Structure formats: C-alpha cells, structure tokens
C-alpha cells in the first residue's frame, strides 16, 4: 500500500516542483471536468487554454488581466513573508478603485496629467487606508488581522454598492448602478494600439522589480523575513513587530489599491459594483503558487489570468457557466496545497 | 519501490526494516521513544496534547496521536510515530541516530526481558561489582563515540566519568541506560551478562538516570510530570506526599503542586532527580548535575549522593568539573575522544594531572591581570524595578548598579532569581516605563528598544541561542546582519552582501566556529559552535558595553577558555562587561567585581580579591549583610 512518510528535511526540489505539479493536476482535473459535463475534453482544453492566446489581442488581454494580479500578489507577498496575513486585498482593491474614481469624477471634464497622477495616489491611499484598519487594530489591540481584513472586504463591497447607487451614480445613466464613464484624461494610456493593454502593466512590472529589491536586498525586507522566521530573534535584534505589521498591511493595501485604480482607469473606464472580479482573492493564490517570489509572481499571474480568459471563452463557446474560472482557480489552490505535502513528506510503497 | 528498505533515508532505515517485524521490535520501539522523550512511558506520550508532545520531541513535530492513530495497538502507534520520527532525525545529530541500530542477526535481539529478581540483589559484599563494562564500542557513521571502553562500578561507589564535551560520556551512559545499543563489548550487571533492551528494562534492573537536558512538560505540575514517568496511573495526592518526603530526605526542596513552566532551571533539575529517586535505584547515573546549583546546594546534593552511596546505591557521576570530582568521587574513569585515557583515584590526583588526562594538555588558564584605570561609567541602573507579569516570575526590586569602562562585572545567582527579568530589561526586549532607570553611556535608555540601545554602544548575548540569538533557518552571514548591521553592512537601507559575508567569515575564523561556511544555516551548527558565533558577533563589534548571559554555556573547555580570554581582552580595550552566569568558577575566573542576584534583589558588589566562593555562595541564598532576611530565602 502507498503511504506517506516524513522526509529528513524539507525538499528544495519539491518546493519548486509542487506548483508545476499542481498545474498539471489542475489541467487533468479540467479535462475530467469537461468530460463529465458532456463536452469534448480536447476541444475544451483548446478553447480554455490555447485559443485565448492565439493572437496578439489575446496575449494583450492576458497581460491586461495579469496586471492587477501581479500588483495584488507582490504587495501581499511582502507581508506574507513576515507572517502578516492580509486576506482582505479584495476590499483594499475596491477602496482603491473607489478613491481613484472619486478623483476622476471630481475632475470630470477637466484636463491635465495631474488627474491620472492624483488617481494613482488616491488609489494607493484608499487601499492603504482600508488596510490600516486591521493594522491599527492588530498593533493596538492585538486583534487577528486575518479576520479583520477579511470582514472589511464585505464592508467595502457594500460601500461601493451604496456609492454607485447614490453619490457616484451617473446622473444620465437611467438609474443603472454605475458611475459616469471617465473622460479621456482620467484613463490610462494604451501601450499597444488596438488593444486594451495599458500603462498599468508597466506599474506592475516595476512593482515586481521594486518588490524583489525590497525583499531580497533591503534591510527592511530582511527584518520582515526575520520576523516571519523567528519572532524572538526579531525582538532581540530590536526589529519592531508593529512596524512589520504596518509595512506588511500597507504594502498589500497600497498595491491592491493601485490595482483597483488600474481597473477603473483601464478596461472599465468607470466604477460599478463589480469592480473587483475577485482579483483580491485570486492574488492570494498567485502569491502562494509563486512561493512569495517576485519572478514566480510574474508567471503565476499569467497563469491565473489565463484561467480568467479561458473561463470567458468557455462561457462563449462551450455554454459553460462563468463560475468555471473559479472552479479552475479552486482546483489550482487545492492541488497546490495537496502537492505541498510532498515538500515535507514522500510517498513510499509498503508491502502488507 | 518494492523493497521497503530502499525508499527510506537516514540512519533509522535499518530500524524501519525491523519495524516490519513488529512483535520482535516492540522493545526497540519503546526504547527509542522513551529515550527520545527522556524517559516517559509510551502510553502517556500518546495521550499528550500537541504542544506538550512538541516540547517533548523538541523540534520534531509528531502529528500522530494515540486517539487518532489508525492502529489502536501499542505497536501500531509506536510504528506510526516512529516513521515520523525517523525522518526527523538529521544526520548531523549522530547522538540520536544510534538507538535504532542493531545487528539484525543477533540471536537475542528478541529475547524476553530478564527479570532482575533472579540475580542476587543487594546481598553482595562491600566489594561486589555491580556493573562491569568490557570493550564497549559504539560507532556512528561519522564518528567513533566509544572505543573499547571498560569500567567497573562497585556497590556503594561514586564513580566519576570525566571528559570534555563530545568525549563520549553521554553515549556511554545511554548504552548503560538502554537508550542505545553498543556495537561491540560486554556489559555485566551484578555478575550476569545482560543486554539492556530499553530504559524501562534498565529501570526494572534498578538503573536510574538524571538527564542533562530536562524533558518536563511546562504546562503540567511537578507531581503530574513525575506521574507521567511512572507506569500506570499513580494517585497524584499520594505521589505528592512521596515527592515531599523524598525531597525532604535528600534536601531537594520542591513544591509538587507548582507548574513546571514557573520553575527555575535548578528547580527543574531537582524534579528530575526526585523522579529518579522515587524508583529507589541501585545505580544512579547523573549527567552534569551541578551546573545550575549554588555551592551550598552542590554540597547538599553531594550529601544526598553520599547518603545514597552509603545506603549501597552506586553512582555514575558525569562531569568535567575537576574540583567536584575530587571532592565527591571515589574512582574516576577519564574519557577522551571516546577512549579511556586513564583511571584514577581523584583524591590522589591534582587537578592538573586529571586535566591533562581529560584534554590531553594542561588546562588553559586565562590571563587575568588586575584592571587598569577604570574609565567612565558605561552602565548605570538607578533603582531598576520591574514587576513581573508572570505570577511565578521574579520581580526586580530597586536595583542599583554602576559598571565602568574597563571592568568585568559578574552577577552570580541561582537561576530563577530575576536573571531573566534583568536581562530582558537590559536588552530592551522589555522596555521600561522609567527612562532614567537604565543609563547606557550617559544616555537614559530605559524606554529605548534593543536597536536603539545598540546605537548607544551596547552589545547583548542572550541565553537562548537558537530562535533568539540567531534565526534558525537563516545563514550565519544573515545572522551576522541581525545585530552587526551598523558596521557598514548597510548602505541607504540596502544590504551590502560582501561586507556581511566578510564579517561572518572573520567571526567564523577567529572564534573557530565549526561549520560549512558563512552560508550554513544557524540550525546546522551544534549549540556550542553557535554560541561561539554569537559571542564572536557581539565581541567583534567592540561594543562600549557588553551584556552577556551564560557566555560559555555548552561550549567545551578549550573554547570556553578562549571566549573568556576574549572577554578579558575586550575589557582591556576599555569595554565595560556585565556577565550574568550560573557558573561561579567562570565568574571568579574573569570578573573584577562580583555581586549576587537573589529574589530579584542585587547584593552589594565586592572586588574579586575581597571575597571568595564561600561568601558568594552564602549570598546566593539571599543572605548578604543588610539584606532583609524577613523575605526568606532565595529560590535556591
């Protein structure tokens, strides 16, 4: 019979192989799923994973979708490395979008580059403010940041819903719960003609580079790693635990907020109730699949973006419900956590 | 994958192979577990909560629980734990790997445990040889732990086993106690050749052992801890009475109802000793028992041991302290590098002759001249008072202290008398409310964090190395960065990897840290080597003030002398040094002034020349001139 036995020490190889294994298992799971739904698995695979990338436009969409994921994931990874568990990036993302939209709507019909600049600023500040609530409660009253940040997601969702039904609603919008379409001056410039890929992608790439330098080369990054590995050693060295919590949550919140801004000032061009598209939660999966590593985050974001695109294609051409994307995301996380067991354990064949 | 032996790694593979043969190996399994846990009985281990079990098995996370184990038999449970444990045994820990080694074809490996009753028990003459080892050899993959060791212990004899760290003393004792099996050699117990199958077997023969590293559950009381080591479910009330009785009889005061987490190291050791004495052993093995006791308590312990010996109990006394052995032991066997380098009668030897047997050369002595001119005041405590949050902690009361540049100030005391609290207050890990209570180099620092105190010129060596003084998973170079970052390792907040690596290399070279290089992880080093690295890291920064807790704890004799010499040299360069240690000999070797902490109060200080070990020993129980005796004795 097969059994698990503990390894002498965690396997380096497996910690990198496990995400790849999870991807393969997810693909196999997907094929089985298509088959069970009465679809041709090969055709399903083609539509889901190949056809979204068959032209330049498809690839640009991939980068577009990956942009907010990269932003969210790199911000979260900074905190996760110090064991600061910000699960509320979704809410911070929404509030970043709200704050950026407020700027855009305030400057409606105005011109000038300052508008976009202010929107980026507002987006990050909005996200950070939302993240500062769990940070404050954690450092002041030692509350659990997982719960507080998660609960604030639902507050943010209700808040944006109220805003687009009220103060931010388009006056000429026939009572639809959405804001005005932003003016040209409040939209991010396009990178490739004829696509929707915009300057936010560059933000994301630079965020990855900055994140890398911060995590692996800066003293702050080192301090956060110490705090994540050995609390007493961090205390002994005098690294402030409170500062770690603040940096961890604010970086996650700020990046999520910029991601929210990039969505309202990018493909959406307005704010609606559905500003988020689950990017805040998907970013958590991205960060873990990537082993909190910036290079990994780049690739994991692309993969996750492909799941979004594939899901849309599957809706269109295979008559599958939109939740198919979530199913794939869920499978990926499940298989990843499952595969991670093999970092510390191995399979052994045992007679009897 | 068909062959089960091929898929396993690590030393225990042999053992796993045997584990297939469950019944045969039942005894082996039990002994492995019991040895790993320091003598708890198997059923009780299974019933523990996760936290306790993790403490028990130190870093090894044992996830299999008795209730949730799929095999509801003892054997099944043992094997499932064992499979987990076996993978947790790292090859560097040669000490632990062995208990599972055994020659598979040995005919008596499955022989039933022999009852001691058949042997003439205690009826022998004065000269009866109770234990005789002949040609005992134990080879680990990397090192020969014991080679051809022979020794005889007579009835009522206190027999010293003397040797440096790593000389093979502990391995030898583990073989006698059934934790480990010898690869070759013969063991006779009261004249009969035996093979000790496991610690339970050893106990049934009448062999008891007090381990060097305690394994007590912090969340349980003393009585509960003792109960766990006994078979069955003893009545706790009755047991508490027994504990009190034994503790009074042998001068080992301890309250059976107290929780272990609130006990000092010294008190914990007493619990371990009592746990052994409750089983009225014929041979008691004591592994470095005095390191945490006051001189008076050591004398009391010696009285206890002599009393036991007079009653006919043999004692194997492991130590590297020559004076103790001279005072206490009838016979000594000296080990070096796993071999017997000599037998002697300690009372007829000089410390020098024994030292040369032990370390192969003369005992290194520190060059300790009188201090030069004292400089400015580097550390001043003004009525330092700290209320302990822990109900069993010690509150610091009104401590005044001044340490000048160019002197080493030693604070003696039995552990648990406020040292922890004082160290936390000094390091800044527990900042104070009163900023003026601590003045470092002329600046009030009571409210400052540890990093701010480093900026003022203070270096600090904590008692715990792994997890506090160093980050276990990180490399030595990164661990250098932990506190030495002020020395050019940072440039505008960015890490200068070259500078960092160079510093770590320098520290490794100068302090002779045995490791794979500056990139080895801290947890790959032995405790003594990591201690050298941490001491080196702090010393190399030439702080204006250095606070060191137990600077040579667990470091072998030669390296300890080196570290002490480094401290003295640092003092000569003008650093003010505060050493808090439980080793009086160490304090007397390096200090210029010495004081005692007892019950959270600090005694007046004395120049080294004006005092002696006896006086300080009396002070360690809280009774110095001017002390309020109404407060009672210290936690000695």
Task: Decide the pairing of beta strands B438-440 and B443-444.
Answer: antiparallel
Residue A57 C-alpha, separation from nearest chain B C-alpha, in angstroms: 40
User: For chain A, what is the domain count?
Assistant: 1
B101 pLDDT more than 70? no
Q: Look up residue B602 and give its two tokens.
A: 């600090």
pLDDT band at residue B24 under the 50/70/90 scheme: very low
Residue A30 C-alpha, separation from nearest chain B C-alpha, in angstroms: 30
Q: Facing residues of B333 across strands?
A: B161, B343
Report how far residue B424's alpha carbon sits from residue B459's, in angstroms, rounded to the nearest whole number: 13
Pair (B139, B259) in one structural domain:
yes
Q: Look up residue B346 and give its two tokens.
A: 């300690």
- Contact between B113 and B136 under an 8 Å Cβ cutoff? The reply is no
pLDDT score recorded for residue B79? 64
B344 pLDDT more than 60? yes
The nearest alpha carbon in chain A to B496 belongs to A217
Q: Give A-chain residues touching B482 at CB under 8 angstroms.
A: 226, 233, 236-237
Q: Give A-chain residues touching B485 at CB under 8 angstroms.
A: 219
Q: What is the 3-state secondary structure (H, E, C) of A8-71?
A: CCCCHHHHHHHHHHHHHHHHHHHHHHHHHCCCCHHHHHHHHHHHHHCCHHHHHHHHHHHHHHHH
Q: Is residue B611 part of a domain?
A: yes
The nearest alpha carbon in chain A to B459 belongs to A237
Query: For the purposes of burial, counting CB atoms within 10 Å of the CB of B382, is it exposed (0-12), middle (13-18) or buried (19 or more)?
Result: middle
Q: Facing residues of B133 across strands?
A: B151, B187
Of B60, B81, B110, the last residue of a domain is B110
Pair (B248, B301) in one structural domain:
yes
Residue A76 C-alpha, separation from nearest chain B C-alpha, in angstroms: 21
Could B453 and A240 be called an inter-chain contact, meaning their C-beta atoms sit closer than 8 Å? Answer: no
Pair (B423, B340) in one structural domain:
no
Q: Which residue has the higher pLDDT, B163 or B445?
A: B445
Q: Look up residue B457 and give its two tokens.
A: 């010129």
Q: Look up residue B172 and give its two tokens.
A: 């030898």
Report how far residue A124's alpha carbon sits from residue A138's, in angstroms, rounded to the nearest whole number: 21
For B481-519, the pLDDT digits (tens) are: 999 998 888 988 899 999 999 999 999 999 888 888 888
Which among B1, B2, B474 has CB closest to A229? B474
Closest CA to A69 of A342, A330, A305, A322: A305
User: For chain B, what is the domain count?
Assistant: 3
Pair (B170, B295) in one structural domain:
yes
pLDDT score recorded for residue B44? 67
| Interface predicted TM-score of the whole assembly (ipTM), two decimals | 0.79
pLDDT score recorded for residue B78? 67
The residue whose two tokens read 């600061």 is: A84
Q: Which residue has the higher pLDDT, A68 or B249?
A: A68
Q: What is the 3-state secondary structure (H, E, C) of A22-37?
A: HHHHHHHHHHHHHHHC
Q: Which residue has the higher pLDDT, B18 or B438?
A: B438
Q: Is residue A303 part of a domain?
A: no
pLDDT score recorded for residue B499? 93
Report how far residue B466's alpha carbon sits from residue A334's, in angstroms, rounded to the nearest whole number: 34
Pair (B141, B268) in one structural domain:
yes
Q: Give B-chain residues touching A239 at CB under 8 angstroms.
A: 451
B480 pLDDT more than 80? yes
Instruction: Encode burial over B170-181: b for 16+ CB neighbours within 10 A, e otherwise.
Output: bbbbbbbbbbbb
> Minimum mean pLDDT among A90-94, A304-308, B613-617: which range?
B613-617
pLDDT band at residue B533 under the 50/70/90 scheme: very high
pLDDT score recorded for residue B13? 52
pLDDT band at residue B92 under the 50/70/90 scheme: very low
Mean pLDDT score of chain B, rounded to an integer?
A: 78
pLDDT score recorded for residue B466? 84
The nearest alpha carbon in chain A to B2 belongs to A349
Mean pLDDT across B603-616: 88
Pair (B172, B292) in one structural domain:
yes
Instruction: Encode burial over B219-248: b for 16+ CB neighbours within 10 A, e otherwise.
Output: ebbbbbbbbbbbeeebebeebbebbbebbe
User: How much of chain B exceeds pLDDT 70, in percent?
Assistant: 74
Which residues span the domain enclosing B60?
Answer: 13-110
B110 pLDDT more than 50? no
Cβ-proximal residues to A180 (8 Å cutoff; 6+ apart), any chain: A105, A108, A170, A171, A172, A173, A270
CATH number for the domain spanning B196: value is 3.40.50.300
Q: Look up residue A309 and give its two tokens.
A: 């695109």
Report how far residue A126's alpha carbon sits from residue A133's, in angstroms, rounded to the nearest whole number: 12
Which among A7, A219, A349 has CB closest to B493? A219
For B37-50, the pLDDT digits (tens) are: 666 666 666 666 66
Which among A217, A222, A238 has CB closest to B451? A238
B34 pLDDT more than 70? no
B148 pLDDT more than 80? yes
- Contact between B433 and B601 under an 8 Å Cβ cutoff? The reply is no
Q: Look up residue A300 and give its two tokens.
A: 């994991």
Residue to mutate among B87, B431, B459, with most A CBs inside 10 A, is B87
pLDDT score recorded for residue A346? 82
Pair (B315, B215) in one structural domain:
yes
pLDDT score recorded for residue B508? 93
Q: Give A-chain residues touching B481 at CB under 8 angstroms.
A: 219, 222
Pair (B138, B234) in one structural domain:
yes
For chain B, list residues whose CB is within 8 angstroms of any CB belonging to chain A: 1-2, 4, 7-10, 20, 83-84, 86-91, 427-429, 449-454, 460, 462, 464, 467-474, 478, 481-483, 485, 490, 493-495
Report how far residue B291's alpha carbon sits from residue B273's, in angstroms, rounded to the nearest whole number: 14
Could A230 and B88 be called an inter-chain contact, meaning their C-beta atoms sit closer than 8 Å? Answer: no
> Minimum mean pLDDT among B64-73, B85-94, B582-591: which range?
B85-94
> Minimum mean pLDDT among A299-308, B2-11, B41-50: which range?
B2-11
Q: Is residue A164 part of a domain?
A: yes
Residue to mutate among B468, B470, B476, with most A CBs inside 10 A, is B468
Q: Give B-chain residues touching A222 at CB under 8 angstroms.
A: 478, 481, 495
> Minimum mean pLDDT among B123-127, B180-184, B615-619: which range?
B123-127
Residue B84 C-alpha, separation from nearest chain A C-alpha, in angstroms: 5
Could A5 and B478 be called an inter-chain contact, meaning their C-beta atoms sit closer than 8 Å? Answer: no
- Contact between B253 and B283 under an 8 Å Cβ cutoff? The reply is no
The overall pTM is greater than 0.80: no
Q: Which residue has the higher pLDDT, B168 or B213?
A: B168
For B312-338, the pLDDT digits (tens) are: 899 999 887 778 888 899 999 988 888
φ and ψ of B596, to 5 deg: -125, 140
Q: What DSSP character marks residue A183?
A: P
Report how far residue A259's alpha carbon sits from residue B250's, in angstroms, rounded to the nearest whole number: 71
pLDDT score recorded for residue A233? 93
- Contact between B234 and B72 under an 8 Å Cβ cutoff? The reply is no
Could A230 and B467 be called an inter-chain contact, meaning their C-beta atoms sit closer than 8 Å? Answer: yes
Integer Rg of chain B from CA: 25
Q: Is residue A78 part of a domain?
A: yes
pLDDT score recorded for residue B42? 63
The nearest alpha carbon in chain B to A345 belongs to B87
B567 pLDDT more than 70? yes
Q: Is residue B533 part of a domain?
A: no
Q: Is residue A51 part of a domain?
A: no
A119 pLDDT more than 70? yes
pLDDT score recorded for residue B76? 65
B205 pLDDT more than 50? yes
Pair (B160, B103) in one structural domain:
no
Chain B contact present for A11, CB below 8 A: no
Pair (B355, B383) in one structural domain:
no
Chain B contact present for A220, CB below 8 A: yes
Could A236 and B462 be called an inter-chain contact, meaning their C-beta atoms sit closer than 8 Å? Answer: yes
pLDDT score recorded for residue A111? 86
Could B453 and A238 be called an inter-chain contact, meaning their C-beta atoms sit closer than 8 Å? Answer: yes
Pair (B161, B23) in one structural domain:
no
Chain B contact present for A172, CB below 8 A: no
Could B460 and A230 be called an inter-chain contact, meaning their C-beta atoms sit closer than 8 Å? Answer: no
- Contact between B168 and B140 under an 8 Å Cβ cutoff? The reply is no
B96 pLDDT more than 80? no
Pair (B191, B55) in one structural domain:
no
Residue-wise DSSP of A74-123: HHHHHHHHTT-----HHHHHHHHHHHHHHHHHHTTT--STHHHHHHHHHH
> Minimum mean pLDDT among B167-181, B428-442, B566-580: which range?
B167-181
Cβ-proximal residues to A248 (8 Å cutoff; 6+ apart), any chain: A78, A79, A80, A82, A84, A86, A135, A224
Closest CA to B400 of B391, B389, B409: B409
B636 pLDDT more than 50? no
Q: Is residue B564 part of a domain?
A: yes
> Minimum mean pLDDT among A5-19, A308-322, B467-481: which range?
A5-19
Report how far residue B608's alpha carbon sits from residue B592's, in angstroms, rounded to the nearest whole number: 6
- Contact between B445 and B457 under an 8 Å Cβ cutoff? The reply is no
Which residues span the domain enclosing A260?
Answer: 71-288
- Contact between B369 and B178 under an 8 Å Cβ cutoff? The reply is no
For B443-466, the pLDDT digits (tens) are: 999 999 999 999 999 999 998 888
Residue B313 C-alpha, separation from nearest chain A C-alpha, in angstroms: 42
Q: Is residue B508 part of a domain?
A: no
- Ramachandran assignment for A350, one of left (phi > 0), alpha (psi -120 to 50 degrees), beta (any other): beta
Which among B87, B451, B468 has CB closest to A232? B468
pLDDT score recorded for residue B541? 92
pLDDT score recorded for residue B113? 34
Q: How far is CA B42 from CA B15, B223, B456, B525, B584, in A?
A: 18, 18, 52, 31, 39
Chain B contact present for A230, CB below 8 A: yes
Residue A268 C-alpha, separation from nearest chain B C-alpha, in angstroms: 39
Which among B449, B469, B495 has CB closest to A238? B449
Mean pLDDT across A227-255: 92
Question: A246-255, A272-281, B52-61: which has the highest mean pLDDT?
Answer: A246-255
Of B307, B329, B359, the last residue of a domain is B359
Q: Is residue A95 part of a domain?
A: yes
Q: Look up residue B380 and give its two tokens.
A: 């001043």
For B574-589, the pLDDT digits (tens) are: 999 999 988 888 898 8
Chain B contact present for A5, CB below 8 A: yes
- For the four alpha carbons of A103, A106, A108 and A112, in that order, the dihedral sign comes to negative
Q: Is residue A330 part of a domain?
A: no
């Amino acid at each position: 019979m097969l059994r698990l036995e503990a390894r002498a020490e965690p396997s380096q190889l497996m910690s990198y192989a496990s995400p790849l294994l999870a991807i393969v298992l997810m693909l196999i799971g997907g094929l089985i799923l298509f088959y069970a739904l009465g679809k041709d698995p090969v055709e399903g695979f083609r539509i889901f994973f190949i056809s979204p990338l068959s032209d330049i436009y498809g690839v640009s969409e991939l980068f577009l979708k990956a942009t907010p994921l990269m932003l969210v994931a790199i911000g979260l990874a900074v905190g996760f490395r110090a064991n600061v568990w910000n699960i509320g990036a979704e809410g911070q993302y929404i509030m970043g979008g709200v704050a950026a939209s407020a700027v855009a709507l305030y400057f409606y019909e105005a011109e000038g580059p300052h508008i976009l600049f202010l929107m980026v600023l507002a987006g990050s500040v909005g996200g950070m403010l939302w993240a500062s609530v769990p940070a404050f409660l954690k450092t002041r009253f030692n509350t659990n940041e997982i719960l507080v940040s998660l609960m604030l997601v639902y507050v943010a969702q209700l808040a944006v819903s109220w805003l687009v039904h009220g103060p931010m609603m388009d006056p000429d919008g026939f009572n639809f719960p959405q804001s005005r379409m932003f003016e040209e001056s409040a939209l991010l410039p396009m990178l490739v003609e004829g696509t929707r890929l915009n300057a936010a992608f560059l933000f994301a790439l630079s965020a990855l580079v900055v994140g890398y330098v911060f995590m692996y080369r800066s003293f702050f990054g080192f301090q956060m790693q110490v705090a994540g590995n050995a609390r007493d050693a961090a205390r002994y060295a005098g690294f402030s635990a409170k500062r770690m919590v603040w940096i961890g949550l604010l970086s996650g919140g700020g990046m999520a907020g910029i991601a929210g801004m990039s969505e309202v000032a990018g493909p959406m061009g307005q704010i609606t109730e559905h500003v988020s598209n689950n990017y805040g939660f998907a970013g958590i999966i991205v960060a873990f699949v990537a082993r909190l590593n910036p290079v990994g985050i780049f690739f994991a974001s692309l993969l996750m973006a492909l799941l979004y695109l594939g899901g849309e294609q599957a809706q269109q051409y295979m008559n599958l419900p939109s939740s198919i994307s979530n199913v794939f995301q869920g499978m990926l996380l499940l298989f990843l956590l499952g595969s991670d067991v093999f970092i510390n354990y191995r399979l052994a064949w045992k007679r009897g | 994958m068909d062959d089960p032996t091929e898929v396993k790694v690590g030393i225990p593979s042999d053992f796993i192979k045997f584990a297939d043969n469950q019944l045969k190996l039942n005894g082996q399994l039990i002994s492995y577990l019991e040895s790993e846990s320091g003598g708890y009985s198997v059923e009780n281990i299974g019933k523990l909560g996760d936290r306790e079990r993790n403490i028990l098995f130190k870093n090894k996370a044992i996830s299999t629980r008795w209730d949730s184990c799929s095999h509801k038999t003892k054997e099944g449970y043992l094997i499932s734990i064992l499979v987990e444990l076996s993978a947790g045994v790292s090859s560097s820990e040669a000490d632990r790997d062995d208990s599972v080694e055994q020659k598979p074809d040995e005919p008596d490996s499955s022989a039933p445990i022999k009852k001691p009753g058949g042997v003439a028990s205690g009826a022998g003459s004065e000269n009866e040889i109770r234990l005789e080892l002949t040609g005992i050899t134990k080879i680990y993959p990397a090192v020969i732990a014991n080679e051809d060791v022979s020794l005889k212990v007579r009835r009522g004899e206190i027999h010293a086993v003397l040797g440096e760290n790593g000389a093979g003393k502990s391995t030898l004792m583990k073989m006698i106690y059934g934790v480990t099996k010898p690869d070759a050699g013969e063991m006779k117990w009261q004249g009969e050749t035996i093979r000790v199958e496991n610690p339970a077997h050893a106990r049934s023969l009448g062999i008891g052992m007090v381990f060097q590293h305690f394994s007590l559950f912090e969340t349980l009381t003393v009585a509960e801890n003792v109960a766990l080591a006994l078979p069955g479910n003893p009545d706790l009330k009755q047991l508490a009475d027994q504990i009190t009785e034994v503790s009074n009889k042998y001068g080992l005061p301890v309250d059976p109802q107290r929780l272990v987490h609130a006990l000092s190291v010294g008190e914990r050791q007493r619990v371990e000793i009592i746990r052994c004495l409750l089983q009225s052993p014929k041979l008691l093995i004591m592994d470095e028992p005095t390191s945490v006791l006051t001189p008076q308590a050591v004398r009391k312990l010696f009285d206890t041991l002599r009393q036991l010996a007079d009653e006919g109990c043999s004692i194997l006394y492991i130590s590297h302290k020559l004076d103790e052995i001279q005072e206490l032991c009838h016979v000594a066997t000296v080990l070096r590098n796993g071999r017997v380098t000599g037998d002697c009668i300690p009372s007829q030897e000089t410390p020098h002759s024994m030292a040369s047997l032990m370390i192969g050369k003369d005992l290194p002595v520190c060059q300790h001249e009188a201090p030069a001119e004292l400089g400015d005041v580097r550390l001043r405590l003004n009525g330092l008072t700290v209320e302990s949050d822990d109900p069993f902690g010690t509150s610091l009361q009104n401590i005044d202290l001044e340490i000048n540049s160019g002197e080493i100030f030693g604070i003696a005391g039995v552990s648990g008398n406020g040292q922890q609290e004082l160290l936390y207050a000094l390091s800044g890990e527990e900042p104070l409310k009163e900023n003026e209570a601590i003045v470092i180099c002329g600046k009030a620092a009571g409210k400052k964090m540890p990093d701010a105190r480093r900026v003022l010129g203070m270096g600090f060596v904590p008692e715990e190395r792994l997890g506090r003084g160093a980050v276990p998973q990180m490399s030595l170079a990164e661990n250098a960065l932990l506190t030495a970052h002020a020395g050019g390792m940072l440039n505008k907040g960015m890490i200068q990897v070259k500078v960092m690596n160079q510093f770590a290399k320098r520290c490794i070279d100068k302090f002779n840290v045995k490791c794979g290089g500056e990139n080895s992880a801290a947890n790959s080093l032995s405790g003594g080597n990591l201690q050298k690295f941490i001491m080196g890291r702090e010393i190399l920064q030439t702080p204006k003030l250095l606070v060191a807790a137990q600077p040579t704890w667990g470091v072998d004799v030669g390296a300890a002398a080196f570290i002490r010499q480094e401290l003295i040299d640092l003092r000569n360069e003008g650093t003010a040094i505060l050493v808090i240690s439980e080793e009086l000999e160490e304090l007397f070797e390096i200090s210029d002034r010495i004081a005692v902490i007892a019950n959270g109060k600090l005694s007046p200080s004395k120049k080294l020349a004006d005092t002696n070990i006896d006086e300080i020993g009396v002070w360690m129980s809280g009774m110095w001139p001017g002390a309020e005796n109404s407060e009672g004795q210290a936690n000695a």
